[in-house]
Amino acid sequence: MKPFRSILFVPGHKRSWIDKALASEADAIIIDLEDSVPEADKPLARTNAKDALDTHNGDKGILIRPNALDTVHFGKDIAETTHAKLTGFLLPKLFSRDDVVRFDALVTAGEILNEVPKGKVELIPSLETAASINKVDEILAGPRVGGVMAAAAKDADVSREVGFAWTPEGIETLYLRSKVVVAARSAGLRSIVLGLWQEVHNLDGLKAFATANHGLGYTGQVLIHPSHAPVANESYGLSESMRGYYQGLVEAFEEGQRQGHGAVSYRGDHIDLAHANHARQALAFAGSN
């Protein structure tokens, strides 16, 4: 999956909110069919999701969070919203790779039912249980997995499961967040996102949180308010100064290669192929957004 910097959650039963999310600065949206949707509105949420996909112009990624595997809604969620314009399903309440395999089977059936090219729709595990974090390597090796979402929200599912007391500094989740990044990189995933920052009006706190997690290796963040999108885009993006730095680094290294050198000095730093490859990767990521 493309590494989105900002992915905005929106309740599926609020059609006007979906339209606003699609008009926001977020790189992608998640239409939620699960926790944010009242039981009586589940069918409406599915209808709204399908309508949004039918009319989508393709300028943003669209993901859907279906209800969990053990609910009565899960099968209908997949059957009615598997779509050629759908980026993928964000998988809730996972416990093992077997859950990913079950999702894959249903999505395969959904692709056949809705005449979507086989394998088009990706799966993005949401690691919000202690078991899923503990088994992250095997989960990310599951079929269709194109990205991952780590959960570190205040007083939410993973907080209850693990038992940590949330702080803005995040030291209590540093191990959890780091473990997911290493597992995702090992699995070859390009999209590694984190959720959520719940203090809606604390944009300074969001910026500090996002900047720290970008430094840890995350490529983007799941958001709950449109005002958070510009902050996330900046925090997970590449500043003009860093863009210039990396471009200059690559140019200096390539000039050194032409002169027969395997390593050169750039702005006082020793650089070689590893540094040039890192710079190229950062520039490629920036160019994809």
Q: 195 and 270: one domain?
A: no
| Confidence (pLDDT) at 49 | 98
d(CA 93, CA 70): 9
Q: 215 and 84: one domain?
A: yes
For residues 18 and 39, the answer to whether their CB atoms sit within 8 Å is no
Assess whether pLDDT exceeds 80 at residue 262. Answer: yes
Q: 263 and 221: one domain?
A: no
1 occurs within a structural domain: no
Q: 96 and 139: one domain?
A: yes
187 occurs within a structural domain: yes
How does the average pLDDT of the chain come out, rounded?
95
Q: 203 and 248: one domain?
A: no
Q: 244 and 231: one domain?
A: no
Q: What is the mean pLDDT of residues 196-212?
A: 94
- pLDDT tens-digit map of 95-154: 999 999 999 999 999 999 999 999 999 999 999 999 999 999 999 999 999 999 998 888
**Domain of residue 60, residue span:** 6-236
Whole-structure pTM value: 0.89
| Confidence (pLDDT) at 288 | 67
Q: 222 and 255: one domain?
A: no
Domain count, the chain: 2
| Confidence (pLDDT) at 168 | 85
Q: 123 and 183: one domain?
A: yes
275 occurs within a structural domain: yes
| Confidence (pLDDT) at 289 | 66
Q: 222 and 256: one domain?
A: no
179 occurs within a structural domain: yes
DSSP states of 93-153: S--SHHHHHHHHHHHHHHHHHTTPPTT-SEEEEEE-SHHHHHTHHHHHTSTTB-EEEEE--
258 occurs within a structural domain: yes
Q: 28 and 127: one domain?
A: yes
Q: 82 and 173: one domain?
A: yes
Last residue of some domain: 213, 236, 259?
Answer: 236
Q: 165 and 28: one domain?
A: yes
Distances in Å between the alpha carbon of 208 and those of 17, 147, 168, 205, 286? 27, 23, 9, 5, 20
190-217: b (≥16 Cβ within 10 Å) or e? bbbbbbbbebeeeeeebbbbbeebbeee
- pLDDT tens-digit map of 56-108: 998 999 999 999 999 999 999 999 999 999 999 999 999 999 999 999 999 99
